[in-house]
């Protein structure tokens, strides 16, 4: 039996996709082999790779002058790959600190360049986004980096910053959840394990004019220009992840694409936040205009109730509702594969739980 899995990542994938992968696992396309057992350089896998890229381009309306890379190493490797590719040693880059992931990105970048923290919501305990008018941007920054959706804090940008320099964004936990104007960005990157597919795969979408700025001593496997030239196949890419991502992109298209997902995700988020706010029992700390549609952290009136909440929820088929280990509390992640019925089932459980544990 499939449960409603509220994990922040690796996260729930569409059942239809898993069933298709299962059906063709041992004998893929009549080859007598699984997709994991064929050469990444063969014609069959080449078609998988090209179709996945085309579908992702269609879904996000990626302009022609952007490269789409399918890489290994997780979003975390990009925290280092970005400064090493986009700026010479000694350069400066602007970073906006809105929570755990943007802070991790800027801490890694500090190893390679001078980081100017243009804005920091630390004083607000990372529950909001400092108004852009108050940011201290540097005029000579190689780029400005921010995290569109902080997966742990549940803080999501409701706007795209206006900058003169290339805009670089971590979209790991928001990609494909609603429309995004790719043309406003120099580079977007995302670990796959939330809205795309299995962990281990990372998508990088980079504007071509930013290629070729990499430091000379950069390992070639980390060099975007090299990977773009080699079709992300300088070495063996994560082939199963790439294949599964392709199935998810197909599923997304059949479901109506990113605009339809946006409507669905807005409704899911409104359903849960609406209940939390009116409950007089649960609480979400995030400034309402910056509340994430994907990750909804919430607190119970007493922290002693958390373990019971998680255990009882699990018995009701609602799993992985514990908050991140660094912050505690509860968190429900509502990625694309989570249906509205899953959110309704969660709200109904929460209502019942509150009545039983006043």
Ligand X SMILES: Cc1ncc(COP(=O)(O)O)c(C=O)c1O
Report which of 189, 198, 264, 153 is spatially closest to residue 18, judged by C-alpha positions. 198
Coil, helix or strand for 221? helix
Report in angstroms how near the CB of residue 147 gets to ligand X at its nearest.
5
Q: Strand pairing partners for 72?
A: 201
Q: Is residue 94 a contact residue for ligand X (CB under 6 A)?
A: no
Q: Are 293 and 265 in contact (CB under 8 A)?
A: yes
Active site residues: 101, 170, 194
Please pick, from the candidates 20, 51, 76, 316, the single residue that binds ligand X as defined by CB under 6 A. 76
Binder among 35, 75, 86, 276 for ligand X (CB under 6 A): 75
CA angle at residue 285 from 282 to 288, to 5 degrees?
Answer: 105
Exposed, middle or buried: residue 150 (CB in 10 Å: 0-12, 13-18, 19+)? buried
In the complex with ligand X, the residue whose CB is nearer, 239 or 350, is 239
CB 172 within 8 A of CB 163: no
**Residue 17 Cβ, how far from ligand X at the closest point, in Å?**
19
Report the nearest approach of ligand X to the CB of residue 254 (Å): 26
Q: Report how far apart, in Å, the C-alpha atoms of 223 and of each of 101, 131, 139 are.
A: 22, 34, 26
Q: Which of 101, 224, 242, 249 binds ligand X (CB under 6 A)?
A: 101
When the beta carbons of 196 and 350 are compared against ligand X, the nearer one is 196
- Binding-site string for ligand X from residue 125 to residue 164, where x marks contact by CB under 6 A and - marks none: ----------------------x---x-------------
Is 74 an interacting residue with respect to ligand X (CB under 6 A)?
Answer: yes
Residue closer to ligand X, measured from CB, 85 or 151? 151
Instruction: Report the run of H or E that residue 67 belongs to, with start and end.
Output: strand 66-72
Residue 246's closest CA among 12, 2, 13, 31?
13
Q: Which is nearer to ligand X, 86 or 147 (CB)?
A: 147
Looking at 98, 173, 239, 284, which residue binds ligand X (CB under 6 A)?
173
Q: Interface residues for ligand X in 289-328 (CB under 6 A)?
A: none
CB of 155 to ligand X, least distance (A): 11
Confirm or reject binding of residue 284 to ligand X (CB under 6 A): no
Number of residues interacting with ligand X: please give it, by CB under 6 A.
Answer: 11
**196/211 with CB nearer ligand X:** 196
Task: Indicate which single residue of 4, 5, 7, 9 sits in contact with ligand X (rule: CB under 6 A).
Answer: 9
Asked if 109 is part of the footprint of ligand X (rule: CB under 6 A), the reply reads no
- Provide the minimum distance between the beta carbon of 231 and ligand X in the complex, in angstroms, as a whole number: 22
> What is the C-alpha to C-alpha distance for residues 352 and 345, in angstroms, rounded to an integer?
11
**N-terminal to C-terminal alpha carbon distance within the chain:** 32
Angstrom distance (rounded) from CA 335 to CA 172: 11
Listed in sequence order, the DSSP H helices in the chain are: 15-23, 43-60, 74-86, 100-109, 224-229, 239-254, 257-279, 306-315, 340-356
Contacts to ligand X from residues 183-212, by CB under 6 A: 191
Distance CA 33, CA 183 (A): 40
Distance in Å, CB of 219 to ligand X, minimum: 17
Binding site for ligand X (CB under 6 A): 9, 74-76, 101, 147, 151, 170, 172-173, 191
């Amino acid at each position: 039996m499939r449960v409603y899995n509220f994990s922040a990542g690796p996260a729930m994938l569409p059942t239809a996709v898993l069933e298709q992968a299962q059906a063709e696992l041992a004998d893929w396309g009549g080859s007598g082999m699984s997709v994991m057992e064929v050469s990444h350089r063969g014609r069959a896998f080449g078609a998988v790779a090209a179709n996945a890229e085309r579908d992702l381009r269609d879904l996000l309306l990626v302009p022609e002058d952007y490269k789409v890379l399918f890489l290994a190493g997780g979003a975390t490797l990009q925290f280092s790959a970005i400064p090493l590719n986009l700026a010479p040693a000694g350069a400066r880059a602007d970073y906006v600190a809105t929570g755990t992931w943007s802070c991790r990105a800027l801490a890694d970048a500090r190893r390679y360049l001078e980081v100017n923290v243009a804005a920091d919501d630390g004083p607000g305990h990372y529950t909001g986004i400092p108004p852009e008018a108050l940011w201290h941007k540097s005029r000579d920054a190689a780029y400005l980096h921010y995290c569109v959706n902080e997966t742990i804090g549940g803080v999501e940008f409701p706007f795209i910053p206006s900058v003169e320099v290339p805009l670089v964004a971590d979209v790991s936990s928001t990609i494909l959840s609603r429309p995004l104007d790719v043309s406003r960005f120099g580079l977007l990157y995302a670990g796959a394990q939330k809205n795309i597919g299995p962990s281990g795969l990372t998508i990088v979408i980079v504007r071509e004019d930013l290629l070729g700025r990499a430091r000379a001593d950069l390992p070639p496997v980390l060099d975007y220009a090299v990977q773009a030239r080699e079709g992300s196949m300088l070495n063996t890419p994560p082939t199963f992840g790439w294949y599964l991502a392709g199935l998810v992109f197909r599923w997304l298209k059949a479901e109506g694409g990113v605009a339809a997902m946006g409507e669905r995700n807005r409704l899911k988020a409104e359903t849960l936040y609406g209940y939390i706010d009116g409950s007089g029992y649960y609480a979400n700390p995030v400034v309402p205009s910056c509340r994430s549609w994907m990750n909804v952290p919430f607190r119970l009136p007493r922290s002693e109730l958390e373990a019971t909440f998680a255990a009882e929820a699990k018995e009701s088929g609602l799993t992985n509702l514990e908050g991140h280990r660094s912050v505690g509390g509860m968190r429900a992640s509502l990625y694309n594969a989570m249906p509205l019925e899953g959110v309704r089932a969660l709200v109904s459980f929460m209502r019942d739980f509150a009545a039983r544990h006043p």
